[in-house]
Every structure is written in C-alpha cells, then in structure tokens.
C-alpha cells in the first residue's frame, strides 16, 4: 500500500512539473531595448545600485565584525548556560528524591529572578532587531550617519544582551550551589 501511495505521489509530481514546463507563455514578446530604456529613465542600472550599497556597507566593516564577535560570544554563553541547565536538572531530580524542600524553594526563588532576566534579554533582542532593520533601510537609502547610529545602537544592545546572559549564568551557578 505504501509503495502504491509513493508511486501515485511521484506521478503527480512529474505531471505537475511537466505541466509547468509547457505552460502557456502568452503572445507578448519582451524586447531588451525597451527594458534598457526604462532602466535608463529610472536613473541607474541595477549593478550600479548594488555597487553603491556594497560600498556603503564597506564603511561599516568594523562595526559589522564587532557585532559578529558579540554574536559569537553570546553563542558561547548560551552553550555554557545549556550545560548548566543539564547539571541543574540532575540536581533537581536528586533534590526531589531526597525531599530537600527548603533548597527547592530557594532555587525556585532564584528561577523567578532568572525569568526577569530572560524578559530583559527578550526586550533587548527585540530592540536590536528593530535597530538592525533600521540600519539596513538607512544603508539602502544611503544615509550613512543614520545607519552608523543604528549599528552602534545594535552593538550596544548586543553587549547588554551578553551582560544579561552572564548575569543569568551567575544565577544558574547560584542554583547549582543551593542544590548541591
């Protein structure tokens, strides 16, 4: 039965693909001369626009590299946090088995603090997302100073995110210490 269903699906895919290949293209013919005239009327060729955007982005090379380094740092911190979460899970299981209710209550309070830190991280990430969106738009519009403000704001926000993740790691260490 499975083979029959697979064969039917393959036939459908081939028929639909073949149908698209031989689809009606219409009677209109596009002349390259008309397209070139319309492009010239717009003012610039597409290659020139791309080169202009690329040259604008080259001015922000250092800032973009700094932002990438901050992203790498954040990933390393998140990896460390994931490892600590594994340790905490083992400690929670052990604490539940040993009926360590006071320690579990203390850990719960620290977890509430971590929730607040996570909310701040999410807020900073959302602001950074908006800042990067504005940066791309400013680069597209060739507004260098505005773009510089947005990229610097994104770098600041990413640094804040990393510091909050570091604070979260300290809280995770505190939970590990409580449950140990």
Q: Any residues with CB less than 8 A from the CB of 107 and at least 6 apart, and which?
A: 92, 95, 175, 178, 179
What pLDDT was estimated at residue 155? 93
Residue 46's pLDDT is 54
Percent composition of the chain: helix, strand, coil (DSSP 3-state, to 5): 85, 0, 15
pLDDT score recorded for residue 28 = 47
pLDDT of residue 70: 92
Residue 139 confidence (pLDDT):
85
Nearest to 144, CA basis, from 21, 43, 52: 52
Contact 175, 111 (CB under 8 A): yes
Give the start-end residues of each E strand in 13-171.
none
The length of the chain is 180
Longest Cα separation, the chain: 82
Q: What pLDDT, on a 0 to 100 scale, did the predictor assign at position 64?
A: 86
DSSP letters for 115-151: HHHHHHHHHHHHHHHHHHHHHHHHHHTT-HHHHHHHH
pLDDT by residue, tens only, the chain of 180 residues = 767 767 766 766 666 666 555 555 554 444 445 555 555 555 555 555 567 767 777 778 888 899 999 999 999 999 999 999 999 999 898 888 888 888 888 898 999 999 999 999 999 999 999 999 998 898 888 888 898 999 999 999 999 999 999 999 999 999 999 888
Record the pTM.
0.66
Is 168 exposed, middle or buried, given 0-12, 13-18 or 19+ CB atoms closer than 10 A? buried
């Amino acid at each position: 039965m499975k083979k029959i269903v697979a064969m039917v699906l393959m036939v459908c895919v081939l028929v639909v693909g073949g149908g698209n290949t031989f689809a009606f293209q219409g009677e209109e013919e596009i002349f390259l001369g008309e397209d070139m005239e319309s492009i010239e009327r717009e003012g610039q060729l597409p290659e020139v626009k791309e080169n202009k955007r690329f040259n604008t982005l080259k001015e922000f090379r250092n800032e973009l590299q700094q932002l990438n380094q901050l992203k790498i740092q954040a990933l390393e911190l998140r990896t460390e946090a994931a490892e600590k979460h594994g340790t905490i899970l083992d400690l929670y299981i052990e604490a539940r088995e040993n009926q360590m209710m006071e320690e579990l209550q203390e850990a719960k309070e620290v977890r509430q603090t971590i929730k607040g830190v996570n909310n701040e991280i999410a807020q900073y990430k959302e602001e950074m997302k908006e800042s990067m969106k504005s940066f791309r738009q400013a680069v597209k519009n060739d507004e260098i100073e505005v773009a510089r403000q947005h990229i610097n704001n994104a770098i600041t926000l990413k640094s804040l995110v990393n510091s909050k993740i570091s604070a979260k790691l300290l809280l995770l260490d505190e939970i590990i210490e409580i449950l140990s």
